[in-house]
Amino acid sequence: MPEVQFRVRWPDASSTLCYSPSSTIREAFVLGHAYPLQEFVARSRAALEHASLRVAQKYGFGCAHAALQIREIEQAAARYAGDPHATVTVESYE
């Protein structure tokens, strides 16, 4: 199962390199598209949970790193929760 890192640009123009245990994360986002903050969080959560499920189906246990990545995304997003116009962009897959 190919791991994928994806670079995210936050509303303050900072970026974070995120992790997915599966390349299926590519199905969740269009590169360069600005997603409303809560939509980005929801898509990330769903995609990473799906990726972890794929790992569980193959190896018998889910991916702890995917669960950690979900928490990190949620924590980062919380910094911008007060901005109704906040968007997040997936800039690249690495």
% of residues, the chain, pLDDT over 70 = 99
Return the domain boundaries, the chain. Answer: 10-15+24-86
| Chain segment 5-38, per-residue pLDDT in tens | 999 999 999 999 999 999 999 999 999 999 999 9
pTM above 0.85, yes or no: yes
Q: What is the pLDDT of residue 87?
A: 98
Which tens digits make up the pLDDT trace of 73-84?
999 999 999 999
3-state SS assignment for residue 23: helix
The residues, ordered by sequence, that sit 6+ positions from 26 with a Cβ below 8 Å of its Cβ are 4, 93
